[in-house]
A = this chain, B = another copy of it.
Amino acid sequence: MSTAGLARTRVRRADIVAAALELFADKGYLATTMDDIGRAVNVRGPSLYKHVTSKQDLLVEIMESSMATVLRDHAVAVGSTDDVADQLRRAVEAHVRFHARHRLEAFVGTRELRHLSDGNRAAMAARRRDYERGFRVLVERGVAEDRFRVGSVRLTTYSLLDMGVGVSVWFREGEEFSVDEVAYRYGDLAMRLVGAA
């Protein structure tokens, strides 16, 4: 009776993080309880503390690992060519691909920034600014090299970034567009925005 052999008995840390991600995205960090997360992996809330030191830790892990992913993808995209227009196009494609593939991480990343502890938030905010600077630098160089024509580097950069971030809100795998299709189309839109089309 007691060992009825329900579902998974063994809880891995990765399962906990995955469950937390989904709950944070759905209900928000503050509204998600350790019991909620436990329930999603078939244990009681307190049992989670064998694998995790705090709820905050889960948020930090989610944010840091996804930030590492975008930064790496961005570096690869920009490093793959010397042509500014191609660099910007590929950077936008990578940006969009990330926001489509890792919707929830992206969503939580921007939505829950304020619920990181002070130290963690400062560090994450700095990395986010670095990421944004990467795009601004590309737009600036494109203008300097006479490849782009923009009204304002700053506004154009914000637009490129915000368009891509928006993808994480509506994108669903297996619907009208594939990840690649969305990436390519946003790459085209980016070229129009900078006047390089």
**A154 shortest CB reach to chain B, Å:** 7
Give the chain B neighbours of A8 by CB distance below 8 A.
Answer: none
A189-B151 contact in complex given A163-B162, A166-B159, C-beta closer than 8 Å: yes
**How far apart are the CA atoms of A151 and B182 in the complex, in Å?**
11
Q: How far is the CA of A165 from the CA of B182 in the complex (A)?
A: 20
Is the CB–CB distance between B152 and A159 below 8 Å? no
How many copies altogether?
2
Complex Cα distance A186/B158, Å?
11
Query: Is A27 interfacial (CB 8 A cutoff)?
Result: yes
Contact with B along A166-197 (1 / 0, CB 8 A): 11011000001100001001101100110100
Q: Does A126 contact B (CB under 8 A)?
A: no
Q: Give the bracket for the number of chain A residues in contact with chain B.
A: 20 to 34
Chain B residues contacting A192 (CB-CB under 8 Å) are 192-193, 195
The interface bits of chain A over 26-45 (1 if a CB of B lies within 8 angstroms of the residue's CB, else 0) are 01101100000000000000
Q: Is A111 an interface residue (CB 8 A)?
A: yes
Option from B27, B152, B154, B162 in Cβ contact (under 8 Å) with A162: B162
Report if A75 contacts B (CB, 8 A). no
Decide if B30 touches A28 in the complex (CB within 8 Å).
yes
The answer to whether B154 and A176 have CB atoms under 8 Å apart is: yes
A189 vs B159: C-alpha distance when bound (angstroms): 9
Q: Which residue of B lies closest to A114 (CB)?
A: B28
Closest approach, in angstroms, between the C-beta of A172 and any C-beta of chain B? Answer: 13
**Chain B proximity of A119: nearest CB distance (Å):** 18
| B28 pairs with A155, CB closer than 8 A | no
B185 near A189 with CB under 8 A, answer no
Report B-chain residues with C-beta under 8 Å of the C-beta of A155.
Answer: 177, 182, 185-186, 189
